[in-house]
Amino acid sequence: MSKSVKVNITIGVLVTLTLIGFSALAYQTIHGLGGTGMNNVVSWGLYIIMFMFFVGLSAGGLIVSSSATVFNIPSFKVVAKPATILSTVCVVLAGLFIMVDLGSPFRMLNLLLHGQFKSPLMWDVVVISIYLGINVGYLILMMMKNPNQKLLNAMSYIALPVAILVHSVTAWIFGLQIARAGWYSAIMAPLFVSSALDSGLALLLIVLVLLRTLKVFHVENSLITKLAGLLFIFVAVDAYLIFSEVLTMYYPQEASTMLVLNEMLSGSMAPFFWGEIILGLAIPLAILLFRKNRQRISLVVLSSALVVVGVFCKRFWLVISSFMYPNVGGSPGVTTGQYIPSNDPSVVNSIWASVGHYWPTLLEMLVVVGILSLGVLMFMALTRLIIGKEGVEKTNSEKTDLNVPLQEMPQ
């Protein structure tokens, strides 16, 4: 099969998945969110998880490209284009995930008409809009034949703090809520930033290797190795913050916090918690610790993939576990909002849950797959538009710039 046939098949599959996803979304828009696994106890689910996840993933790109200027790391400049495209696509997806989570999406305009700025969600709307603007601005500049370097520099200086802010504000959506034992924490913002950094960078690494394999964009091994080194640091910081957070939850043995923690350590959220600890932290750290491993592209990709999966797991347990136990406990609990009529009188309809449970339904998964497919398509389109075919040659000519020694990176 020729490359173009492969590409066409890929596009065909992605378009189909996108259409399926958006059909599911249309169904959801007509019938409401009842088809999701969410209920009145666990009132946020996969969509919000994906929102957080993609806000985080968008970090890697923008931070790498803007740090190139801000911290004068010229080697990073090389990957600015794919990084920014990735960042843009991720933040657009994040926005989409918020939209599909709304019960009344047709009223979204109310955000503009009646914005209430005490709400961290409103802060996020603002910061993400700016963030998206910067990304798009970057892309436009990059598409120019001779971009204004000053403007580019200025933008980098804005982009970095905005990127930090985006993750912090997203964290504050959760971290400022006294209602939820697992969320209410001062290090929620640093934790989000660190997760954003490691997952974002990991995704960037995967994408770079993929682009190189597809001969769309060339990256030197040394840069991959260097970025892998950075990833190690990010993951280590993330691990440190998570340890600090979990220890803080564990040590006082406070009852309501322990309910959440036990759910994470040994309850229904354990696969996600331990998934993160083992897949997302322990294994990547173990691999990336060694320079030899960092030089092996396959191991770097593996580690990156694990980090991405690990952070997804973290988003999952972070959102869900704090919903599971109502603060005001007792029987019969909370009305779930679900009532299934039955003609069989012996069918007992329990509308109650004293402990919340959540698992995404097929509908949610289809919507998510559709949006992800759309994201890939967007990425492909933007890559073609901005990097185009000459990308490989162009980056090849820039490879002499790769002269920052790896030894400067802390090990």
Partner 1 sequence: MRISRRNFIKAGAAGTAGLSLSGPAVSRKWFKTAAAKDSDPSEVLKYTYHTPNCGGRCAFICHVRDGKLSLIEPNTWADPKFSTICLRGISEIERVYSPDRIQTPLKRVGKRGEGKFKPITWDEALTTIADNLKSLIDEYGSESVLISMSSGVEHDYKFLSHLLKTQWVCEQGIDVGLSNGLLKCLGGDDVYTYMQNEITDWVNSSTIIILGANPLETTITDSKFFMNAKEAGAKMITIDPVYTTTASKSNQWISIKPGSDVALLLGMISTIIDNEWYQEDYLVDNTTSPFLVRKDNGKMLRLHDNDEEDVKKNPHLIWDEKSESAKPYNTKGVKPALDGEFTVNGVKVKTVFRAIKENQKQYTLSWASEMTEIDEDVIFELSKDYATRGPAVIAWGFGGLDKLANSDIAGHAGGILGSLTGNFGRVGGGVGAVTHHASTWTAELNEWPLPEQFKETPLEVPTSDFREGKGSVRAVINVGNTLQQHFANMNKTEEWIDSLDFLVTIDPFHNPSADYADIVLPASTAFESEYDITNMQINRSHVLLAEKVIDPLFESKSDFQIEKELLAKFGLDKHHPKTPRDWIAHKLDSGDPALDGITVDSLIENKFTMRLNAPKEPYRGYMDQIYDTPTGKLELYTESFLEFDQSLPKYENPDEIVDEKLRKKYPLQFIQSRSRYHVHSQFNNVEWIRQFDGGPKLEINPKDAKSRGLKTGDVVEVMNDRGLMKAECKLTEAMRPGVVRMHEGWWTKHMIEGNLQTLTNDHFMKRQYDLRNGPVIPFNDTLVEVAKV
Partner 2 sequence: MTRMGMAVDLNRCIGCQTCALACKMQNNVPMGMLWNRVLTESDEGIDGVQGVYPDVEKTYVPVSCQHCENAPCVKVCPVEATYKDENGRVLIDYDRCIGCRYCMAACPYNVRVFKWEEAIQNPNFSYGDPRVPDRKVGVVEKCSLCKELTDDGQEPRCVQTCPAEARIFGDLDDPESTISRYIRENDAEVLLAEKGTKPSVYYIGLNGGKVDV
Residue 30 parent element (H or E): helix 3-31
Near partner 1 in 30-49, by CB under 8 A: none
Given the complex with partner 1, which of 221 and 335 has the nearer CB atom?
335
Question: What is the Cα–Cα distance from 98 to 125, expressed in whole angstroms?
Answer: 10
Among 20, 73, 282, 351, contact with partner 1 (rule: CB under 8 A):
351
Q: Which amino acid is at 328?
A: V
Report the nearest approach of partner 1 to the CB of residue 348 (Å).
3
Q: Is 338 one of the binding residues for partner 2 (CB under 8 A)?
A: yes
Say which residues have a Cβ less than 8 Å from residue 380's Cβ, sequence separation at least 6.
11, 14
Near partner 1 in 174-213, by CB under 8 A: none
Say which residues have a Cβ less than 8 Å from residue 146's Cβ, sequence separation at least 6.
none
Instruction: From 82, 68, 60, select the one nearest 391 (Cα to Cα).
Output: 82
Residue located via tokens 């029987």:
331
Residue count of the chain: 411
Q: How many residues bind partner 1 (CB under 8 A)?
A: 8
Near partner 2 in 150-179, by CB under 8 A: 173-174, 177-179
Stretch binding partner 1 (CB under 8 A), from 61-69, 294-302, 343-351, 373-381:
343-351
Q: Is 346 one of the binding residues for partner 1 (CB under 8 A)?
A: yes
Near partner 2 in 22-51, by CB under 8 A: 31-36, 38-41, 43-44
Q: Is 252 one of the binding residues for partner 2 (CB under 8 A)?
A: no
Given the complex with partner 2, which of 111 and 377 has the nearer CB atom?
111
Given the complex with partner 1, which of 330 and 345 has the nearer CB atom?
345
Among 30, 109, 328, 348, contact with partner 1 (rule: CB under 8 A):
348
Q: What's the longest Cα–Cα distance across the chain?
A: 78
What does 348 interact with, of partner 2, partner 1, none (CB < 5 to 8 A by kind)? partner 1
Q: Is 337 one of the binding residues for partner 2 (CB under 8 A)?
A: yes
Cβ–Cβ under 8 Å, residues 47 and 97: yes
Say which residues have a Cβ less than 8 Å from residue 147's Cβ, sequence separation at least 6.
141
Near partner 1 in 296-335, by CB under 8 A: 332
Would you state the structure tokens that stand for residue 236, as one six-digit string?
């280590």
Question: What is the Cα–Cα distance from 238 to 380, expressed in whole angstroms?
Answer: 30
What does 346 interact with, of partner 1, partner 2, none (CB < 5 to 8 A by kind)? partner 1
Stretch binding partner 2 (CB under 8 A), from 60-68, 103-111, 218-226, 262-270:
103-111
Residue located via tokens 């790391």:
73
**Separation in Å, CA 146 to CA 139, 141, 150, 153, 399:** 13, 8, 11, 14, 19
What does 150 interact with, of partner 1, partner 2, none (CB < 5 to 8 A by kind)? none
Q: Which residues bind partner 1 (CB under 8 A)?
A: 332, 339, 345-346, 348-351
